[in-house]
Structure formats: C-alpha cells, structure tokens
Structure 1
Amino acid sequence: MTLHDEFLDWYLDAYPVRAALLGADGHDRTLGDFSAAGFSARERAEEQWLRRLTSESPGSFDSLDDEIDRGLVVSHLRGSVASARRPEWRRDPAPYLGAIFGSLFTPFQQRLKPEAELVEAAVARLAEVPAVLAACRDNLDPDLASDLLVKRGLDQARTARHFLTVTLPAEVRDEDLRARLAAAAEPAADAFDKLVAFLDDFEAHGSWRMGEELYSTLLREREMLGYGASELHDKGLAAWDELDARMREVAQRLGSADWRAVMESLQDDHPPTLEAMRAEYEAETLRARDFARDRDLVTFPDGENCQVLPSPEFQRPLIAVASYLAPPPLTTSTAGVFFVPYTPDGFTEEQVRQRLRTNSRAQMPSIAVHEAYPGHHWHLSYLTGTPRRARKIFRTPYFVEGWALYVEKVMHEQGYFDTPQTELAHLDCRIFRAARMVVDTALHCGDMSIAEAEEFMATKASLSPGTAKGEVGRYCAWPTQAPSYLTGAIEIERIRADYTGDLRTFHDSIAGSGGLPLGLARKAVIPA
C-alpha cells in the first residue's frame, strides 16, 4: 500500500459524510465530529499528512499513474492546509447544514441500498443532528462570521423542519418505516428551530472576502494553475471582450448588434411553468445524448442514465441555476440526476417568471449539454470505471466544470446549436462564465462591492436581477469556484490542441483520468 493510499483510508474515516456520499461502505450512520476539537484535530492531521507525502522521493513511484495520484492528494492537502488559515467552520453555518442535508437527502435520491437500511442510517444520523447544530452555535465566531453567510445559512435552516418531517419521510414507501423516520425527525427539527432562532439573533462582524493572498495561494497550490488572482481577473476581462465581439456578430444576424437586447428578447420564449421547464429539459437532455452518441464524441458507459428532476427544496434558497448529482464514484452506479432550478416556496409570481426567463428555450440546449451529455453526467458516470481510488475521491471544479463548458464548445463545433438563437445563447453561457472570473476575483480581492457585482452580472451577462443577486451570493460564499468553468475549459482546449489522437480518444482519456488539476490532467494524456 502506498502512502497516499494510507492517507485515503484516514480521509474516509475522518470525513464520514463525505465517505458515505462517495459510496464507501461503513460510514453511513454518523455525521462525524463537528466540535472545535474535532475540526482542529483534522487540521493538524492534514498538516502532518502533507509533510509526509511531500517528503517522498520522486523515484519511489511504480508508475506515472501513481505519481499523478500522489500529486492529486498533495494538491488537495495543500488547499486544505491553506484554507485552515481562514476556518470556514468558525465563519459560516454551511459546513454543518450541508453535511446534514446532503447525508439525509442523497441516499434516498440514489437508492443504492434497501429501504430499511436507508431508514436505519437516516435515523442514526438524525439522532446526531442536535449535537451538530449545537456545535455550530458554539463554533461560530461573531468576529469572524459574515452576516451575508449567516443569512444564507438562516434561509437554508428555515427549510429544515418541512424537509425533515414532511419531504424526507415521503421518500419512504413502507408505512411503518415512514412513521419511524418521521418520529426520529422531530427532535432534529426542534434542533433546527433552535438554530433558526440563534442565527436570527446572531450579530456577525466578520467579512466574507477571502483576500488576494489566500485566493492566489489556492489557485497556485490546489489548482496548480501557475498564476494568481490578478492574472485570473485579467484573463476574465480578455475573454469577455473576445466573446462580446463574437456575440455582436451573431446578434446582428438576429436584427441587432446589441446582443444583450437580443438575449432579453429570446428570454421571452420560455416554458410557462416550473414543471413545463423540467419536462422540456428532459426532452433536451435526451436529444443531447443522441447527438453525442451519433457523432461518436465519447464512449458511453454501460447502463448509465440521467434523471431530470426538480431541485431539492433545501437547495432552492442557495442555488438559482441548474445543478447535477453524480453517481457515488466508489460504487458501480452510473445513475445521476440533473436538477432543474425550481424557486423556493414563497417566491412571487414575478420571481418565478424571472427564473423561467433565465431558462429560456434558446438557453436550454447549452444547459442540458453542460449538466448531462456529454457534460457532467457523462463525465462522472464514465469516471466510475477508473480503478484509481484517489481520482474517485478528489476532483477539482477547475476540471469538472471546465470539462462541462469545454464540451458545450465541442457540441457547437459539431453543429448542435444550429440556429442563431441557440448559438447566441451558447456564447451567452460562455460570456457569463467570463463575467464570473471578473466578479469573483474582484469581490474577494476587495475591488468590487456586492451591489457592483450584481450590476455587472446583470449587464455583462443576460441574468435577471434576481438571478444575479443569487449568483453573487454564491460567489461570496464559495470563493474561487465561480472562475473554474471558463478557466478550466480554456486549459482543456490548450491540452487538446497539443494532443495528436482522434477526438473521442482524447475525450475518453482526459475525462477518464479523473477531475485532476489541469497540470496533472495534461500529464495524464500527454506524458513528458
């Protein structure tokens, strides 16, 4: 067993929710230790693992794959050690809430075990919810926590009672098991009510901004990009300018060089209801699958399928765009879920209309390609076939999101976006990601206010004001993630330009190598 294999065993034991969501056996009946001592112990252990792994001799690897696996583990650890300087668990309710909601919802969505086992595991986790939420109350530091992040946590916590006592039990078919789960959910729901009251009164004085030093460190050390926040910001500006020129040319074919006005007009053609939006996305997903297969762009894994479902209610206050739930990579499942972005309960008719507008019929083809075929679903279902355990456990959005945006461009090259309307919407999806590069770096380096960021996203991409507001809130809470899409796509395009084989082999090779930092992805398909 290699040293990085020993680390993987430790990691799965130290993070049981993550382990269970990955599909590792034996971790599905606990939420883990969320005390301050528990977080601190894991941080110290990761520092020690990083020292041990970086002291290994380069000549000790049996193969290039082993060397890449070790590089992947080291990049993850460098990111974790750097991030510990700004501990999320003292600043944000998200680590606590995400673990609870994800661990309870996802197993019933995927149904990889008998229902009785799913209920037993959920009951065991529900019993730990009060302690996890008590740790959240104890650990949040008013001088470090951000009011914006606390408010996001509060909005999500307010969905918990209905989710735990109504939505979750409704997933259980057996009447007796359903009753058992509902009874177990009541103390957990009471604990959430207590957290809601706590967060409602909590006075946070800290900042959500990451700062340029840590932001750049993560780009260089975790993402292995070779440049920092300032350079990334400039790349975003340059990409936006290039795409703006291309979009003006396409928009001219639709009667005006003002592509924002044209996109505004295209958004008038949208599904009439949220359920109609879901149904149209389902049809578009099947069309994209058939197109990718007919053009021989990728190799499809046996048995894969992608459901198209409404986004879970606990995600709706936080995520205003489509998302994807991957099959657990440590299992043999190749079934995933494309979540259509439903609005939270209580949204006005106008707010719902604005959500439908940002999922117009011109935009649906690009979004379905990105989330499903040959984007996230194809990639992450295909990846379940890799024998490399490290690559099943760790992946970076700079590859995963980069891949999904890269294949949008591939599908455009192949003729999938076959009208000026869908071509313009495809480019709009790309310029939206360029705007993210600009805004995310500016926000976290202190060069842009939230109001300025919302205005930028609403005017430099075709987002409604409400969607722009939701997007910017996400950037504040999840620094460095938003630029991953276009940054990763550009890097994958550069690797492809240097690859000498056919297109399908390139796609199978680079996507099958995992979700690696881009420098490692290049090494995996173009060895030195």
Structure 2
Amino acid sequence: MPGDVPIAPLTSGAWMGDFPLYPLSLPQGGNIMKPRWILVLFSLMVMMGIGGCSPLGFFSSSPSRAFESFLDDYFNGAFALRPSSTEPLAWLSATADSLRAVSASRAMRELTAIDTSQLSMDERIDWLQMEAMLKREVRDRSLNIPLRIPGQYLTLGTIYGQVARRRPPTPEEWKNIRKAIDDARAAMETGRRQLHEPPPLWVRLTVNTAARYEEFLGEPLVTRIKTAAPDSLRPGLLKSTEETRRALVRFRTYLSDTLKPGKDDSWGVGEEYYDWLLKEVHFLPYNSAQLIEEGWRRHNETKKLLKDLAQRIDPEKSWKEVIEEMKSRHPEPGGITEAYRVQSDRARRLLVDLDLVAIPEPETLTFVPTPPALRETYAWAGYGGITIQDKVPTGRFFVTDIVPEMSPDQVEEKLRAQNRGWITVIALHEGYPGHHLQNLYAMKSSRKVRSRFGSTYYGEGWGLYAESWMARSGFYQTTDDSLAWLHMRLWRTARVIIDPSIHTGRMTYEQAVRFFVEEVGLERSAAEAEVNRYTTWPTQAPSYIIGWLEIEKLKEELRQALGEQFSEKQFVETLLGVGSLPLELLKRAVRYQYGYQLGKVVANE
C-alpha cells in the first residue's frame, strides 16, 4: 500500500517532504504592527520560526487553526531542507538524508506545541498519525540508508509504467522520460560514491534488477521510441537510452566485482527497533515475541482448517498433496494476465449485483507487467496505485508473468505458483474490493494526513477482510478457490512468525525460505521472493493477519452494539471512508462515526 513505504526500498522515488524552505515573511500593514511590544514579540517569533516554530501557530485563535496551519506549512514544504547542490536527484545524497531528519525534528517541535486537548476527535487522530510519521523520519536516520541500499540508485521505475502502457506517451511525457533516463546515470554515479558495505542480499537483488533494466532499455524501449516518439525527440531519446544502458552495465559490474559487501544478515533491524516500530508507529499491543506467539496460534488454527478441507476433497491424500494437485491447474503460458482480468471483472460484478458496497465512479483498473525492480519481491501480483488518465482514476494491477529469459523449469514453477485458485483470491485482494477500491475511497478523503500517509496494517488488513467477506458473499465457486483461500491464509500466518524472527535473529534467511517451502508449500522461487521483501520492509509482513483480526473484532463490537441495525455495507463504507490509519486510530475513528447512531458521542480517547 502507498503511504507506508519500505524502510529499505529496493528502488526509490522522490521523498515526499523534499521541497524548498518555505520563506517566512511579516504581514504588511494592519494595526497589529503598531504597538512596539507586539512588534518586538513578533520579531522574536519570526526568529523562533527560523528554528522550526512558525509564528502562524502562535497567532492562531484556536488549537484547531494552529494544527491546520501546521499541516498547510508541512505539506507546502515549510519545514523541508535540501542540499544546496543542483545535481540531478540530489535527494539521494547522504546530506539530504541528514537534512530530512533535521526537517522532521523541526516539524515535531511545532507539532508538539499544539494543545491537543482542544482538538476535535478527527484532528486528534490526525495529530497522532502525524507524530508517528515524524518520529519515524527522525529515527530512521540511524539506518544509514544512502550507504546501505544499492537499489535506491536504480531510478528507472518511474518511466516503466509510462512506456509499458497501451496509450503512447504524449510529447511532454516523452520529454520527462528523456530526463528520467538522463538522471538515472547521475543516480548510479551517486551510488558508486556513497555505498559502503551493503548487505550482500541487497547487492544481489540490485544486480538482478539492473540486468532487467538493461534488457528493458534494449529492444523494448528502443522499439517503443522508434514507433511512438515524436520525430524531433527520437534521436535524443535513442542516444540517452544507449548511454544509460551502458551505465547500467558499469554499475552492475561495480556492484558484483568491486564493492565490498557487508555481513550476510546486516539487513536485520534488531529487536529494539522492531519493537519500537510496532508500538510507536503502528500503535500495536505486541512486541516481537508476542507477535511470533500470535502467529503460531493462528498458523496452527489455519492449518487445521486446511487439513479438514483437504480431507473432504480427497480423504486418501494429505493436504500438501491436495495443494500440489491444485497447482497443476493453471493458465497456459501467456494466459496469466488475462486470468487475473477475468476474475477481477467477476468480483466487480458481484459487488454491484449484490449491492455490497458503493464503487466511486468514474474509475478503471488496468493490468500491466510487474516492473523489473519489483519482480524479485512480488512473486504473484501487486497493486501499483492510481494515476489519472483522461480525467479517470486508473488503477494499475501488476502481474508477474512469464518472461523470455526463463528456463523451462522456471516457467513451470511460475505457472504452478500462478494457479487458478490463487489467481482468484489475489485478483480480489489487489483489485475489487481490495486495494483498488480502498484507494478509490482514499482519493475522496478531505483529511490531509490520511490522504498522504497510510498504514499497512489497515491496508493489508482490509485486503484479508475482503477475502473473507467475498467468501461469505459466494465469490469462491470451486474447491480450488476455497483451498487457495485457506492456503493463502496459512502463508500469511507464516509471515507473522517469519518477519519478526528474521529481523531479531531468531531465524536465518535460509530457515525462513525453508519454512515457507516445507511448512506452507510454496515454490522455492516464491519463498525467496517473499523473504527478500521482508528484509527490506520490517513489520509489514504481519500486517495482513493482524490487521484482518483487528477489523473483524471491530465489526463484531459494532454488531453487538447495534443488533439488527448493523449493516455490513455501512460498516465497510465507514471503514473505507475514515481513511488509512494505524489500527488503534482506525478503531477510534470508526467508533466516533458510529457514536451518533448509537445515541452517544464518543469522547476523545
């Protein structure tokens, strides 16, 4: 989900707060400037503002106005500092990383000066989410991201979607593509200067990604330029593309042959930081040990359900044998993307036909190949967010399909992973009523914080809630559908065990991969892609099961309170409408919305 991004992304985009320093200025005219003591006081406040405390907050007539002013300043870049360098992609520099932490500290000082006791419930919730985001921005400085993450210096992901889609880029978009291709060379040079003993796993992943980008900048992009780019831009685009392709070869060779790697498990963040994230950022009542314990409990429960279903399907076989047979029922080569599209369309029709939830209009969902930078970590599919095309919100559904360089064995393994049962469940999880619907509702939000930042525990918790909801609504039509649903839940419960274990030293990378293969029944390549992703995104993997369980608890609480008045349609629309929040804040926001229906106003918690 957008908003709750990996701590260690394999590729990176522009940091949201990287804007010029917003100039503070004195108001012109007006009686407020006439008394000398007010002039002196205001001058002092301006000086304080330069240190991170805006005078606007002091002159606000209420904490609500002060908070609104703070948010305007923050999202307009008033607190952001950036390097004086004019080099392309200067935000990738180690200096920029330090300045981001300083900027967040300045913003935190002003945020904490606001009297939260006088804020409304929604404002208080937004304040808490903002505080958590800023605390993480400050704390993450200790991770030394510019030195340790080679993948962030591969910046071509921004152009992949523009070039790969059916509609050709406009002339203006081609100019932006040319700039991105040029900037990519500068980014790789920055990486060569800054990288210092990164984790070997991340080096290998980046080498593989660079090779895929080399391929993309070869025949696929060259053909697209020759057939779709304006004549006046074509020579420059072709020249820049070839120069960047060669730069990718050099960067890949540098990573493989020259750069000294760090320790094998140096991607782990450690127990103290992991527990801090759970408590301070995600607002969860768990530490890593408790999370692992909860994971085992849910894992064993789910395995029993899976065994029971497998026995009903074929009493003579184990659940693993039944799963292996399910994997043999898959699309033919070249048919994976279409299979996802068919199931997504069927899910949308069910939502409309049964009036399960309102779908904001207009909208559409497109199916595109998973970008090269994500293929190492997205074994099946993923949601790529919404862009506006021809004034229509357009979701991007990434599909990890077969690619030409795969061997026959790799093709067979990919087809078995992308079996029809799993495709049915993933299609609704990523599309309707999963992440695509979630994002459509998020676009409607007027809450500045919630529309810009998010929580993976809400995002992925909703995805699993959608799977369960659609099961109750009759979406799963075959035994493969139901089997895949439980098999995928077993996979998600394993995540709750594995993620905290690998980051706190309780489990090695290889042990985690074997756990997925032997305990869950994943294909080896899929298991590796899973664990690769967890190394880059601590605390995200448990969010599916934990988020789903908390949403189900909230629904049951409201069902008990409302009795026959309870409507699941109202519940899901309320949940989607309050925005992307950490679970504890989400529960407060939903309870507050329901407070009037229950005949009471929910007090600030």
Residues 340-390 of structure 1 deviation map (CA, whole Å, 9 limit, x = unaligned): 112454221111111111111122211111011100111112221112232
Change (3 A) 1:109 1:522: farther
Moved more, 101-110 or 370-379: 101-110
Decide which structure has the larger Cα Rg and report it. 2
**Inter-partner Cα distance in structure 2 for 1:296 and 1:35:** 51
Equivalent in 371, 378, 383 of residue 442 of structure 2 = 383
Q: Check if 1:185 corresponds to 2:241.
A: yes
**Inter-partner Cα distance in structure 2 for 1:429 and 1:15:** 43
Look up the SS of the partner of 1:336 in the other structure.
strand
Q: Check if 1:87 corresponds to 2:152.
A: no
Correspondences of 1:144-163 after superposition (within 5 Å): 145-163=198-216
Look up the SS of the partner of 2:386 in the other structure.
coil
Correspondences of 1:226-265 after superposition (within 5 Å): 226-256=285-315, 258-265=318-325
The answer to whether the 8 A contact 1:334-1:382 is kept is no
Structure 2 partner of 1:513 = 578
Shift of 1:457: 0.5
Change (3 A) 1:396 1:94: farther
Look up the SS of the partner of 1:326 in the other structure.
strand
Amino acid at match of 2:278: L
Look up the SS of the partner of 1:301 in the other structure.
coil
Q: Check if 1:102 corresponds to 2:157.
A: yes
Amino acid at match of 2:329: D
Residues 458-496 of structure 1 deviation map (CA, whole Å, 9 limit, x = unaligned): 122231122112212222222222111111111111122
**Inter-partner Cα distance in structure 2 for 1:60 and 1:95:** 42
Change (3 A) 1:318 1:242: closer
Amino acid at match of 1:205: G
Look up the SS of the partner of 1:85 in the other structure.
helix
The answer to whether the 8 A contact 2:164-2:368 is kept is no
Equivalent in 587, 591, 599 of residue 526 of structure 1 = 591
The answer to whether the 8 A contact 2:302-2:490 is kept is yes
Change (3 A) 1:160 1:108: closer
Look up the SS of the partner of 2:217 in the other structure.
helix
TM-score by length of 1: 0.90
The answer to whether the 8 A contact 2:157-2:373 is kept is no
Structure 1 partner of 2:381 = 322
Shift of 1:436: 0.9
Change (3 A) 1:164 1:437: same
Shift of 1:115: 0.9
Equivalent in 88, 92, 112 of residue 34 of structure 1 = 92
Shift of 1:122: 2.2
Residues 410-464 of structure 1 deviation map (CA, whole Å, 9 limit, x = unaligned): 1111121133331111011111100011111111111111221111101222311
Look up the SS of the partner of 2:420 in the other structure.
coil
- Aligned Cα RMSD in Å? 2.6
Shift of 1:170: 4.8
Shift of 1:188: 2.6
Structure 2 partner of 1:494 = 553
Correspondences of 1:287-366 after superposition (within 5 Å): 287-328=346-387, 333-366=392-425
**Inter-partner Cα distance in structure 2 for 1:336 and 1:325:** 7
The answer to whether the 8 A contact 1:363-1:426 is kept is yes
TM-score by length of 2: 0.79
**Inter-partner Cα distance in structure 1 for 2:277 and 2:222:** 40
Alignment gaps of 5+ in structure 1? 17-28
Moved more, 305-314 or 509-518: 305-314
Change (3 A) 1:370 1:313: same
Percent identity for Structure 1 against Structure 2 = 30
Q: Check if 1:137 corresponds to 2:137.
A: no
Structure 1 partner of 2:273 = 214
Shift of 1:227: 1.9
Structure 2 partner of 1:8 = 75
Look up the SS of the partner of 1:210 in the other structure.
coil
**Inter-partner Cα distance in structure 2 for 1:180 and 1:416:** 51
Look up the SS of the partner of 1:158 in the other structure.
helix
Amino acid at match of 2:240: A
Residues 218-275 of structure 1 deviation map (CA, whole Å, 9 limit, x = unaligned): 11111111322111111111110110111111111111372222111111111121x2
Equivalent in 535, 539, 544 of residue 476 of structure 1 = 535
Structure 1 segments, 4+ long, off by >3 Å, are 11-16, 29-32, 106-114, 164-172, 177-180, 328-333
Structure 1 partner of 2:518 = 459
Shift of 1:137: 1.6
Shift of 1:179: 4.0
Residues 253-312 of structure 1 deviation map (CA, whole Å, 9 limit, x = unaligned): 111372222111111111121x21111111111111111222222210112111123223
Equivalent in 253, 261, 267 of residue 197 of structure 1 = 253
Change (3 A) 1:428 1:153: same
The answer to whether the 8 A contact 1:282-1:308 is kept is yes
Moved more, 458-467 or 307-316: 307-316
Shift of 1:506: 1.4
Q: Check if 1:271 corresponds to 2:336.
A: no
Amino acid at match of 1:218: L
**Inter-partner Cα distance in structure 2 for 1:374 and 1:152:** 32
Change (3 A) 1:329 1:497: farther
The answer to whether the 8 A contact 1:316-1:342 is kept is no
Equivalent in 67, 81, 93 of residue 124 of structure 2 = 67
Look up the SS of the partner of 1:281 in the other structure.
helix
Change (3 A) 1:48 1:109: farther
Look up the SS of the partner of 2:196 in the other structure.
coil
Amino acid at match of 1:89: P
Amino acid at match of 2:571: F
The answer to whether the 8 A contact 1:332-1:384 is kept is no
Structure 2 partner of 1:49 = 107
